[in-house]
Chain A
């Protein structure tokens, strides 16, 4: 049981480049989430998917898009990366009350 996995672990992008962060869970959870964490701050919700086939904006959705590919996978896309998107990105999943987090993707945009 791998839990929540994220790829890649590290990424460096130039301003304007695009990329997709991948997240998968093997716990048969309905809900999945994408958060970002800037240095010295708590996590902020970017997008979430309450169930397969639905996605909704969180606190900081601008500059991002998401796809709930199936029940297991939830991807986050940066269409045109900006230095302000330099952050650590965490994916999470939940069935009801407890969220399980992945190890994070450390993204630097230069």
Chain B
């Protein structure tokens, strides 16, 4: 699976958009970009994933560059409850691998949302 690079930490004011970048310059054609987050001491929570088109759901938006070498997770109106470690993960879509939906977690970005 391709390696990802994320900033160690970021701050965001409550109510503002939080933009979390991720570099995945070695991504291959069949690999998707997944985002998970981990609120302190809890199990990780799935946020969103995408291949090449921008994606949006009730939690966030995912913007993937045209060359697919980087992406940005956007939390449009961050709240204190969004304070968490955010993980960007690149992996093939599970149906194509036949070996289970394995995830490789890095150290992620610690997002701190402040008043």
* Residues A45 and B103 in contact, CB atoms below 8 Å apart: yes
* Residues A97 and B49 in contact, CB atoms below 8 Å apart: yes
Q: How far is the CA of A97 from the CA of B32 in the complex (A)?
A: 10
Instruction: Enumerate chain B residues within 8 angstroms of A31, measured Cβ to Cβ.
Output: 94, 100-101
Q: A102-B43, A104-B43 are known contacts. Are A44 and B101 too (CB-CB below 8 A)?
A: no
B41 interface residue (CB < 8 Å to A): yes
Which of B12-20, B23-31, B105-113 touches A? B105-113
B104 interface residue (CB < 8 Å to A): yes
Q: How far is the CA of A49 from the CA of B103 in the complex (A)?
A: 13
Q: How far is the CA of A35 from the CA of B32 in the complex (A)?
A: 21
Please, what's the 1-or-0 string for B41-53, where 1 marks a CB less than 8 Å from any CB in chain A?
1111110010000
Within 8 A of B (CB), among A65-90: 88, 90
* Residues B44 and A101 in contact, CB atoms below 8 Å apart: yes
* Residues A97 and B94 in contact, CB atoms below 8 Å apart: yes
Instruction: Enumerate chain A residues within 8 angstroms of B36, measured Cβ to Cβ.
Output: 99
Nearest residue, chain A, Cβ from B106: A42
A26 interface residue (CB < 8 Å to B): no
Which DSSP category, helix, strand, loop or mixed, fits chain B's interface?
loop
* Residues B99 and A45 in contact, CB atoms below 8 Å apart: no
- Number of A residues near B (Cβ < 8 Å) is 29
Within 8 A of A (CB), among B25-84: 32, 34, 36, 41-46, 49
* Residues B101 and A96 in contact, CB atoms below 8 Å apart: yes
A22 interface residue (CB < 8 Å to B): no
Q: How far is the CA of A71 from the CA of B97 in the complex (A)?
A: 20
A4, A31, A98, A102: residue with the most chain B Cβ atoms closer than 10 Å? A98
Say which residue of B34, B43, B94, B106 sits within 8 Å of A96 (CB atoms): B94
* Residues A104 and B41 in contact, CB atoms below 8 Å apart: yes
4 nearest CB pairs, A to B: A101-B43, A42-B105, A50-B100, A43-B105
Q: Given A33-B100, A99-B44, 14 other A-B contacts at CB below 8 A? A: A4-B43, A31-B100, A42-B107, A43-B44, A49-B100, A88-B41, A94-B101, A96-B95, A97-B101, A98-B46, A99-B103, A101-B42, A101-B43, A101-B45
